[in-house]
Amino acid sequence: MPWVLTDSLTAVDVHVHIEADGHGHYSLDDELMAASARYFRADHDRTPTLPQIAEMYRSLSMAAVVFTVDAGTATGHPALSSEEIADSAAAYPDVLIPFGSVDPLRGPAAVSQARSLVRDHGARGFKFHPSLQGFSPDDQAYYPLWAEIETLGVPALFHTGQTGIGAGLPGGRGIKLRLSDPMLLDDVAADFPSLTVILAHPSVPWADASISMATHKSNVYIDLSGWSPKYFPPALVRAANSYLQDKVLFGTDYPLLTPERWLRDFDTLDMKPDVRPKILKDNAIRVLGLGDNSGENSGGK
């Protein structure tokens, strides 16, 4: 499926969650949804449907990468359908770019599902959340999955750093932050050099590690979602404004953080004028292969 992104777009938000499917199903159970809402102090609709997200981003002249997270094994909560998300996004090719999500703990079944999501449903990449999904990405048990995604020629976006999911609950509901240390992805990026690895969020408390990885490896990038820009670590702002200006991507973590708030706070940063369009749009178009509407980046479909 070709994605038709127009020159009128002002930005590409590479990190947007689908948390409700329109059938009364949600991506997390009630306790985890409430905990993340408190953590982000979200006072707006937490569960917009895919059509509502498309309408909002179109009104803002932005495109959005949309996905869910399949953590069914670790949480016991049924995942939303990545197939349905990808198929539905095809109705909004001017604003929505679908990523899939598979549960790495499902082994060979996850590999097969990843292949199908790209080849049969037009997924343009994958989203993983090691802490929520309960796996260590450097474990070689998951290398067949990374090899498949590398072969498919699409990016893999990994949550890194602190998470609001489980925040404030006893034991964080068993969610282990160490699994989202970005250095666990250094092995993945090194061993799969043709796999585009996107480190989601400023990776607090490991921001320096993400900066180091993105500097060292040409296939590693950082998305700036999940934090208001006014709270970005100073080292990240300096890097984004200089030597990593081609390696950082605009992302919000919507619906937890709105594009309007992110952009308002981003405007307060002392960023070079020629860097801003790279972060907001140009880098994403290049990294995600959005300038290629031939379908060649969709597993040779």
pLDDT digits (tens, 9 = 90+) for 59-78: 999 999 999 999 999 999 99
pLDDT above 60 (res 1) = no
Residue partners of 252: CB distance under 8 A and separation at least 6: 13, 15, 16, 225, 258, 259, 262
Summarize pLDDT for 132-182 with one digit per residue, the tens: 999 999 999 999 999 999 999 999 999 999 998 988 999 999 999 999 999
Place 45 in a pLDDT band, splitting at 50, 70 and 90. low
What's the pLDDT at 5?
61
d(CA 48, CA 299): 30
Q: What is the pLDDT of residues 176-204, one digit of tens each?
A: 999 999 999 999 999 999 999 999 999 99
pLDDT score for 211: 98
What's the CA angle centered on 275, arms 272 and 280, to 5 degrees? 130
pLDDT in tens, 106-133: 999 999 999 999 999 999 999 999 999 9
Which of 255, 209, 202 lies closest to 230 in space, CA to CA? Answer: 202
Q: How far apart are CA 39 and CA 231, in angstroms?
A: 15
Rounded to an integer, the average pLDDT of 23-44 is 74
Distance CA 101, CA 78 (A): 13
Q: How confident is the model at residue 300 (pLDDT cuts 50, 70, 90)?
A: very low
Sketch out the chain's domains with CATH numbers: 11-287 (3.20.20.140)
